[in-house]
Amino acid sequence: MSITLKQAQQALTAAHEAAVQHNVKMNIAIVDSGANLVTFLRMDDAWLGSLDISIKKAKTARFFDMNTGEIGKISQPGGSLYNIEHSNGGLITFPGGIPIRNSQGAVIGAIGVSGDTVENDHTVAQAGADAVQAVKE
């Protein structure tokens, strides 16, 4: 089961609205269950360097079906996943990537957000992920 374009657009819209509400300029990426890019938004004046980061956050969240911030905690020196960010063509292991689940809890894709503090990145990503989970299929 994979995220549909309609669901991806719901996540993108909700994340964009959260970014506007927090007055931050973001790059927002949505990937499907195969970690393929489905939809992307770069807000006006969002950092160009965050474009790739947002996509990698989404892919990282989907590759491991966990928030990127959680992966970051266990990838520190001495951690069980130390240096994992060097695998899979480069991962991002700080907050802003979140798996997207359907209303039954199955992972159907992921969202990655980059462009401000990692706290704001996570908040905006969570808004996008929540928008999909709240909708009954």
Q: Are 28 and 116 in contact (CB under 8 A)?
A: no
Write the pLDDT tens digit of every residue in 40-64: 999 999 999 999 999 999 999 999 9
Write the pLDDT tens digit of every residue in 69-109: 998 888 888 888 888 888 888 888 899 999 999 988 899 99
Nearest alpha carbon to residue 108 among 129, 77, 87, 94: 129
Nearest alpha carbon to residue 15 among 116, 108, 106: 116
User: Does the pTM of the predicted model rise above 0.85?
Assistant: yes
